[in-house]
Amino acid sequence: MTNKPKVDSPIRGLVIELLNAMTLSEKIGQLSLVPGGGPSGTSELVDSIKQGRLGGILNEIESARVEELQRVAVEESRLGIPLLFGRDVIHGFKTIFPIPLGLAACWNREVVYQCARTAAVEAAAAGINWTYAPMLDIGRDPRWGRVAETFGEDPYLISELAREMVTGFQGEDLSEPDSIAACAKHFVGYGASESGRDYNTTNIPMNELHNVHLRPFRAAIEAGVASMMTSFSDFDGVPVSANHHLLTEVLRGTLGFDGLVVSDFKSISQLTVHGLTGSDRESAREAALAGVDMEMSSSTYEENLERLLTEGRITMTDIDRMVSNVLTLKARLGLFDRPHASRTHSRPVSPREHLASAYRAAVESVVLLKNHANCLPVDIGRLKALAVIGPMADEPYEQLGTWVFDGDSALSQTPLDTLQTRFGETVKIQYARGVPNTRSKDRSGFAEAVRIARESDLAILFVGEESILSGEAHCRADIRLPGCQQELVAEIAKTGKPVVAIVMAGRPLVLQTLLDRADSVLFAWHPGSMAGPALVDLITGEKVPSGKLPVTFPRMTGQIPIYCAHKNTGRPATDETYVHIDDIKRGAFQTSVGNTSFYFDAGYTPQFPLGFGLSYVDFEFANIRLSSAQLRPGEVLYVEADLTNRGTVEAEEVAQLYVRDLVGSVTRPIKELVGFKRVTLKPGETKTVEFSLTSDDLAFYNRNLKFVSEPGEFHVWIGGSSDTELRAEFELLAE
């Protein structure tokens, strides 16, 4: 569904009328987005607004201040042009949902839509009319702190969820009171920051750029995203915020985007730091001509565009183009007619109304990684004593995860809260942190933790990463459990008591120690406000785990990047060719081992693949079948399989569809996700899972960057994880 902005003639007419009336200073003013959040209406900010030298304010969320600043803009500036009020509303505003990586683990389009819709309602009520989300970077390097904000590694999954988040934020009509403008970011390739170190250089081949990194942005544009944010990153020598090829030829030309492009925070003034320019004036010129309409937080446009115009180094046409995109967004938001949020909300918004949606998302986001001897679910009510251990068991703020500027931790229900409320009367619940925080190497709390474990029938460990350890600029070179948590797990396991481990983190972690010692492991990302009820309901079996990994988990950090849709290479490893470092014979001849693509000490497969997630029931996929052995362009191929719940309780499975194009004019990935759906099954029930494929689903950018599908042999799989072996073959015929 293309929900591209309908910039109809009334808006076009208004914009032209304003451009004709505006002075150059007022035009340049519209291109500035400055931080707010200061004391109410600081005189400098108010003066700028009165003089028409501001287009928008970010991070001003105190409603009364927002109202007053907007009143000044509308009533006391010469042309009364309203302001944009921007904020990072990433996975909730007051009510916090799982971090985006956790939302992606739901593999549920509706949940992502609901998160964005809820966030929009709460943020709009506070006067926010523009959010800097969805973040659509490809998350294939868990060392990168911002992987927490991604929808994972897979372009198809990210694209599907991008559409939902854009539509959730923007509603059916951007001018509705509960709609806020979305901003797809960070265009483009930021996820490929070298060595997973934030803000680092990116070098992405054009074919990979088009076949991987651009796909989610194309989806967001098709969904009608109103704005786009440029990334900080150097892209093959030309930082994106000054990259005309990317911002004009690709974004506006190839992808057809016609909304507003805003820089990232000071990313224009940082062009001198990159060493692309020698002055702010050159930075302003590079960015303006590249296609950045609005400057966030730095002032190179304000201070230099007039001079550049005078020097003839940019034109009034350039400036009018930029201003037009800002004014058009404001008009689409209905700000000229209804500048004040407070006068449009029929009733106050209570975040508590939204906790049920946050709970559902949290439940569906949690991934069961291990369940030895069906240790879970546990009837906690029948226990005599329960030990709750770990630094993440009772952390109302930490469980919210990164990018929760406005998250209300007073709304948080922690796992310890919930356990004590539910079972405190009948079960002896003892709690020990074990370590002061997730980073700490202080083991002085181990003894107490071991003591309560010894006195209990079950130990539930809540470990992982505090919120600050992921998100922007928060990278880790070693992605094992931080601090001495691994040692804590080992000490608790030595008690011989059953151990259930719950991991809250903002990235995939290397979990070998935990997996070796815990009987069951639930990976919960950062689950948000309703972490407690969601996790306790999963532990007790009230809810059955259904989350699936949206990102591959490596066995060792050294394997990174490791992801599903990789190329076959000319020497793929197999179980036959792989040799473990311990099995190499002394004096082995140089070419006697190896010769294919693996690590001696880590093999060639991940700890857990894309799409992996266990349940409390066994699901069985069988009998894959195709509507035809051949697909003609323009026709539809149906792929079906039978899915059975072999368990004793109702449960949900995420059926996934993967394809492989065996031969292409450019090499193609060994497996690509091209479909998924959640299926609910009663005990013993069998359902037919059906997907459809057309030649468009098989298309890719070829050597000449033309989007084509090529005839030939394809493999197709259905399963509950990307390592499914349930496969069929078909042939795509020529046009």
Catalytic site positions: 264
Interface with ligand GLC (CB under 6 A), residue from 144, 156, 217, 265: 265
Q: Which of residues 472 and 723 has its CB atom nearest to ligand GLC in the complex?
A: 472
Pair 257, 221: CB distance under 8 Å: yes
Residue 132 touches ligand GLC, criterion: CB under 6 A:
yes
Q: Which of residues 56 and 547 has its CB atom nearest to ligand GLC in the complex?
A: 56
Which 3 state secondary structure label does DSSP give 667? coil
The beta-strand segments (E) located in 449-505 are: 458-464, 499-504
Helix (H), strand (E) at residue 110: helix 109-125
Q: Measured from the CB of residue 99, what is the shortest distance to ligand GLC in angstroms?
A: 14
Instruction: Provide the 8-state DSSP code for 359.
Output: H
Q: Mutual orientation of helices 316-332 and 9-21 as an angle, nearest 10°?
A: 130
Q: Measured from the CB of residue 665, what is the shortest distance to ligand GLC in angstroms?
A: 36
Residue 185 touches ligand GLC, criterion: CB under 6 A:
yes
Q: Measured from the CB of residue 86, what is the shortest distance to ligand GLC in angstroms?
A: 7
Residue 234 touches ligand GLC, criterion: CB under 6 A:
no
Instruction: Provide the 8-state DSSP code for 373.
Output: G
Pair 450, 478: CB distance under 8 Å: no
Q: Which residues does residue 504 pair with via DSSP β-bridges, in sequence order?
A: 464
Handedness of CA 27, 28, 32, 37 (dihedral sign): negative
Pair 89, 127: CB distance under 8 Å: no
Pair 162, 223: CB distance under 8 Å: yes
Site for ligand GLC in 332-371 (CB under 6 A): none
Interface with ligand GLC (CB under 6 A), residue from 472, 487, 620, 642: 472
Site for ligand GLC in 292-321 (CB under 6 A): none
Give how far Cα 609 sits from Cα of 108, 364, 671, Å: 18, 18, 12
Q: Measured from the CB of residue 264, what is the shortest distance to ligand GLC in angstroms?
A: 5
Give how far Cα 563 sits from Cα of 292, 575, 635, 683, Å: 33, 18, 31, 33
Query: Judged by CB under 6 A, how many residues of this single chain contact ligand GLC?
Result: 6
Q: Which of residues 132 and 701 has its CB atom nearest to ligand GLC in the complex?
A: 132
Could you give the CA distance from residue 323 to residue 337 in angstroms, rounded to a whole number? Answer: 19
Q: Measured from the CB of residue 183, what is the shortest distance to ligand GLC in angstroms?
A: 7
Q: Which residues does residue 658 pair with via DSSP β-bridges, in sequence order?
A: 673, 717
Q: Which of residues 137 and 398 has its CB atom nearest to ligand GLC in the complex?
A: 137
Could you give the CA distance from residue 147 to residue 138 in angstroms, rounded to a whole number? Answer: 8
What mask of x and - would describe binding to ligand GLC in positions 621 to 660, judged by CB under 6 A?
----------------------------------------
Q: Which of residues 148 and 643 has its CB atom nearest to ligand GLC in the complex?
A: 148
Residue 88 touches ligand GLC, criterion: CB under 6 A:
yes
Helical H segments across 311-396, by residue range:
316-332, 355-365
Instruction: Provide the 8-state DSSP code for 76.
Output: I
DSSP readout, 603-660?
Answer: BSS-SB-TT--B-SS-EEEEEEEES-SEE-TTS-EEEEEEEEE-SSS-EEEEEEEEEE
Which 3 state secondary structure label does DSSP give 381? helix
Q: Measured from the CB of residue 525, what is the shortest distance to ligand GLC in angstroms?
A: 19
Q: Which of residues 227 and 418 has its CB atom nearest to ligand GLC in the complex?
A: 227
Q: Which of residues 251 and 488 has its CB atom nearest to ligand GLC in the complex?
A: 251
Strand order in the sheet with 367-371: 367-371, 520-523, 499-504, 458-464, 385-389, 428-432
Q: Measured from the CB of residue 150, what is the shortest distance to ligand GLC in angstroms?
A: 12
Q: How far apart are the first and last CA of the chain?
A: 25
Q: Measured from the CB of residue 133, what is the shortest distance to ligand GLC in angstroms?
A: 8
Give how far Cα 698 sits from Cα of 93, 668, 692, 707, Å: 38, 10, 12, 10
Q: Which of residues 128 and 544 has its CB atom nearest to ligand GLC in the complex?
A: 128
Pair 274, 234: CB distance under 8 Å: yes
Instruction: Provide the 8-state DSSP code for 442.
Output: -
Q: Which of residues 264 and 282 has its CB atom nearest to ligand GLC in the complex?
A: 264
Structure token pair of residue 674: 């091209």
Q: Measured from the CB of residue 88, what is the shortest distance to ligand GLC in angstroms?
A: 5
Q: Which residues does residue 616 pair with via DSSP β-bridges, in sequence order?
A: none
Q: Which of residues 57 and 429 has its CB atom nearest to ligand GLC in the complex?
A: 57
Could you give the CA distance from residue 270 to residue 276 in angstroms, rounded to a whole number? Answer: 9
Q: Are strands 712-719 and 727-732 parallel, antiparallel or unpaired?
A: antiparallel
Q: Which of residues 38 and 711 has its CB atom nearest to ligand GLC in the complex?
A: 38
Q: Measured from the CB of residue 365, what is the shortest distance to ligand GLC in angstroms?
A: 22
Cα angle 257, 12, 220; round to 5: 20
Q: Which of residues 132 and 151 has its CB atom nearest to ligand GLC in the complex?
A: 132
Could you give the CA distance from residue 185 to residue 176 in angstroms, rounded to a whole number? Answer: 23
Q: Measured from the CB of residue 562, what is the shortest distance to ligand GLC in angstroms?
A: 26
- CA 546 centroid distance within chain: 19
Site for ligand GLC in 393-422 (CB under 6 A): none
Residue 582 backbone dihedrals phi, psi, to 5 degrees: -75, -15
Q: Mutual orientation of helices 280-290 and 300-310 as an angle, nearest 10°?
A: 80
Q: Which residue is nearest to ligand GLC (CB)?
A: 132
Q: Which of residues 60 and 88 has its CB atom nearest to ligand GLC in the complex?
A: 88
Q: Measured from the CB of residue 246, what is the shortest distance to ligand GLC in angstroms?
A: 17
Residue for token pair 């439940």:
363
What mask of x and - would describe binding to ligand GLC in positions 138 to 177, judged by CB under 6 A?
----------------------------------------
Q: Measured from the CB of residue 443, what is the shortest distance to ligand GLC in angstroms?
A: 36
Residues engaged in binding ligand GLC (CB under 6 A): 88, 132, 185, 264-265, 472
